Amino acid sequence: METTRHGAAAGDAGRPVSADWTIDQEWDSYTPEDHAIWRTLFERQSKLLPGRACGEFVQGLRDLTIDAGQIPDFRRLSDDLEKLTGWRVVAVPGLVPDEVFFDHLANRRFPAGQFIRRAEQLDYIEEPDVFHDVFGHVPMLAHPVFADYMEAYGKGGLRAQGMGVLANLAHVYWYTVEFGLISGVEGLRIYGSGIASSRTETIFALEDPSPNRVRFDLERVMRTLYRIDDFQETYFVIEGFDDLLALADIDFGPIYRRVSALPDLDPGSIDPADIVLHRGTGAYHKARRNVA
Ligand SMILES: [Fe+2]
């Protein structure tokens, strides 16, 4: 069975005392080594992102004073973010169950991993840590339209869970919030946190000939499976953040019924109805499959 990325991975062993899974960030407990890892990651990404991340992401980083100096203190970060869009950042031990995750988003709270990866995990970590969650996600939460989309997603998630169609909705989160690209006046840019917080995927998603780059279409994306442990084979490109917000007004019921009746699409496949911006060579994933 397919599991969703924002849930299910945290076992009962990691369950905190509080019902909403929040914990104290314990900012004072970060060691100089923890802050040094943050600095390394921050400096690497902030060198790469100009001209690659969308203007809204860069502006969010600047407005929230997320900088190289140290791992942000969520209380101060939240006070700044709340003034801009009403969102706060709360600490959690790692991935949380879906219903807990959705409830936080629906109430404009972003649950962020409290821990930071170790030095030998700079390029890949399975559970989202404070660098992925804060550097990757929080800048976009300073953008009013994106902030509204995230709240709508939380509410939509609670509804989808009740209807038993969560996997379809989770695909939308994956291909927008985590791995979304946007094409605007500046050209093709990154807004997805999974890309923006990864040195290697920043280059791969935008510049490598291997992946497909396809115009975002809601029902198409809902049917598309994804890769959890490697670069994406297909990236979906929105034309503006209003495209996302429009999703908040949709009655998902009829869409879920249509989508459930159709087969899932493989991550690397091109559908005849796609608007293809770049047809990928597939070379990267072919080479990976040959090794495996
Ligand atoms: Fe994430």
Please determine, for residue 37, whether its predicted confidence score (pLDDT) is greater than 70.
yes
* 3-state SS, one letter per residue, for 130-187: HHHHHHHHHHHHCCHHHHHHHHHHHHHHHHHHHHCCHHHHHHHHHHHHHCCEEEECCE
The CA 87 to ligand 1 mean position distance, Å, reads 16
Q: What percent of the chain has pLDDT over 70?
A: 93
CA distance 86 to 179: 24
- Tell me the CA–centroid distance for residue 111 and ligand 1, in Å: 10
Confidence (pTM):
0.92
Cα 272 to ligand 1 centroid, rounded to whole Å: 30
Q: What crossing angle do the helices spanning 144-163 and 74-85 adopt, rounded to 10°?
A: 100
Q: For residue 112, how far is its CA from the centre of ligand 1 (angstroms)?
A: 9
Which residue shows structure tokens 């009655």?
Answer: 251
Calculate how far, in angstroms, residue 134's C-alpha sits from the geometric centre of ligand 1: 9
For the cut 90, the answer to whether the pLDDT of residue 1 exceeds it is no
Q: Is 104 annotated as a binding residue?
A: no
Q: Is 132 annotated as a binding residue?
A: yes
Please provide the CATH number assigned to the domain covering 18-291. 1.10.800.10
Helical packing angle, 98-106 and 144-163, nearest 10°: 140
Give 194 Cα–ligand 1 centroid separation in angstroms.
6
> Smallest Cα–Cα separation from 71: which of 109, 44, 32?
32
State the pLDDT confidence band at 247, using cuts at 50, 70 and 90.
Answer: confident
Are 94 and 14 in contact, with CB atoms under 8 Å apart?
A: yes
Beta strand 187-190 with 234-238 is unpaired
Task: Assess contact for 22 and 112: CB atoms under 8 A.
Answer: no
The fraction of the chain above a pLDDT of 90, given in percent, is: 74
Say how many Å lie between the CA of residue 64 and the centre of ligand 1.
18
Distance from residue 132's CA to the centre of ligand 1 (Å) = 6
Average pLDDT estimate for 183-201: 95
What residues contact residue 19 under an 8 Å CB cut-off, 6+ apart?
none
8 Å CB contact between 221 and 175:
yes
In the reported structure, the alpha carbon of residue 179 is separated from the centroid of ligand 1 by a whole-number distance in angstroms of: 9
Q: Are 23 and 114 in contact (CB under 8 A)?
A: yes
Helical packing angle, 252-260 and 144-163, nearest 10°:
60
Give me ligand 1 centre to Cα 137, in Å: 7
The answer to whether 178 is annotated as binding is yes
Asked if the model's pLDDT at residue 3 lies above 60, the reply is: no
Summarize pLDDT for 131-180 with one digit per residue, the tens: 999 999 999 999 999 999 999 999 989 888 888 888 888 999 999 999 99
With contact defined as beta carbons under 8 Å apart, do 246 and 232 qualify? no
Please tell me which of 80-89, 157-166, 183-192 the model is most confident about, judged by mean pLDDT: 80-89
Mutual angle of helices 32-48 and 199-207, in 10-degree steps: 20
> What residue type is 182 in one-letter code?
I
**Which residue is it, tokens 């030095």?**
119
Count of CB atoms situated within 10 Å of the CB of 31: 9
Longest CA span, the chain: 54
